[in-house]
Structure 1
């Protein structure tokens, strides 16, 4: 869109034309409408969680509560011990981030800088997996979780299955590879001449130069793990291991509707705060590959 100083899709000269100005404001209005449609459901859930039970079931419903009952938030938090589910989700998230960055980063480094014979074909196979529907691998994956190959371990009620899944992500590997391609080969060759090993180059040269992509993937992984429901629900049967999403689903039968909305607020707020705080890095993730100067 128009950004001034002749940059962006619409420059200053084009914007002065009536037709271009009309198109600009039509697109701007359309974006506002789409944003409102996306924001309204989450905002309505959060606002409704503060209503009393009579207003909650009132017809027609109110968008802005007539009275705010903040105490419902603390009562729900303490009564259903949501701190425990937050801790479980945080533990799952930390492991997923560690596995994602380490193994997908190593894979991107393998395909970008090492490039042994046959790596191009292997990379092509990995990209082909993106085209497969997620439902294709659900049954084989779950059977491997119940009876882990070779070791014959039952990994249910553990976080290992979700960590293993985070360790192999074709899209993340592609992002890492594209970013590592921008790192000058001269730096890699200089490190080899100095006697650094391949892993040493990865940890001492490549990763320090990849802070933008590391931050972006970390944020996206945290958001993805926090909002994940299917696999935690399938794997975590013990209540002591439940994540926030699994706890809200399993407890809904025992919660009144207004308290369910309070619980949903607990699930909505952290990703929203994460985006608001780190939105600059998230937006940067869509333009990775601009190169490294120096």
Structure 2
């Protein structure tokens, strides 16, 4: 059979396995701004205007971080002076070491890490199992339950703050108080409607043929969850883990109400009570403590930014 060649083409161009390169215009259609738009003066003006606005927004966002890390190197009088100094006149690097020792930050770093780890564990035990039940077990009234979860997202957390505190002070039926207990922080965070809906949306994308085949092999519901659903849901679980750790790390109001003993407090509470109870403590120590407390979330974001950006796409919930 004779090969039909296009006009101007050679046999080498028609060889199987050799891909023709896409034109520049087609490649430009997959970018934010096409090369054709940049060839026009108006397109270049708009491009550089947007670039300048984004650069300015980035500098404005990084401004408070720079002030915090540089302010920790200043003396207390230099921090509050007007006009402020862009860089410390005499940088005091020892402020970070003194803040680490005076504020007893190692204890509160460990407390906060344990709080975050427990919150992640409870998320897997409660939110992940609830999402699995809604997605794969399909209980009666599934749509009503899911609609109830959506409704709770519309309610500001401050509205149910007092009822939640009353429940934690004396758990219904068993009348046990969780004040000054880390469980008082873990339990309210375990049933997170947002995480349940995100995981449920991801579980829906897993083919039912996999679970049906496992059922035919004799697997029960728990084995389906632990051996099939969870291993295939690592991207969604990573996103939920990151969001939970960051939310627990920066949480202040709820631990302020529940954790009153210094030995069980988180890092944010320790910095607050250190400033309130010790008026003679140099203000630079508090700024240094805040700077040290902000390093772990920044490192987590830099290391796991792909998963965080993937989480933005996972938040497109399906019914």
What TM-score do you get using the length of structure 1 for normalisation?
A: 0.92
Where do 1:108-257 residues align within 5 Å?
A: 108-253=131-276, 254=278, 255-257=281-283
CA contact (8 A) 1:85 1:242 kept: yes
Q: How far did 1:288 drift?
A: 2.8
Match of 1:261 in 2: 287
For the structure 1 residues 198 and 264, does the alpha-carbon distance in structure 2 shift closer, same or farther, using more than 3 Å as the test? same
Q: Give unpaired runs (5+ residues) of structure 2.
A: 1-26
Superposition TM-score, scaled by structure 2 size: 0.85
> 1:102 corresponds to which residue?
125
Question: Which deviates the most, 82-91 or 13-22?
Answer: 13-22
Is contact 2:98-2:285 (8 Å) kept? Answer: no
Deviation at 1:289, TM superposition (A): 8.2
- Cα distance in 2 for partners of 1:110, 1:19 equals 54
Higher Cα Rg: structure 1 or 2? 2
Which whole-Å deviations, capped at 9, do the CAs of 1:113-171 have from their partners, x for residues lacking one?
A: 22122111111011111111212101100111111111101110001122112211111
Aligned to 2:20: none
Please say if residues 103 and 271 of structure 2, whose CA atoms lie closer than 8 Å, have aligned partners that are also in contact.
Answer: no
Aligned length: 287
* Cα distance change on mapping 1:67 and 1:178 into 2, 3 Å: same
Structure 1 runs of 4+ off > 6 angstroms?
A: none
What are the ranges of 5 or more consecutive residues in structure 1 without an aligned counterpart?
none
Report the 3-state secondary structure (helix = DSSP H, G, I; strand = E; otherwise coil) of the residue aligned with 1:232.
Answer: helix
Measure, in 1, the Cα distance between the counterparts of 2:43 and 2:229.
Answer: 45
C-alpha separation in 1, matches of 2:31 and 2:137: 37
C-alpha distance in 2, partners of 1:120/1:274?
Answer: 36
Match of 1:277 in 2: 303
Q: Is the 8 A contact 2:76 2:282 kept in 1?
A: no
Q: Which residue of 1 aligns with 2:17?
A: none
Q: Residue 5 of structure 1: CA displacement?
A: 4.4
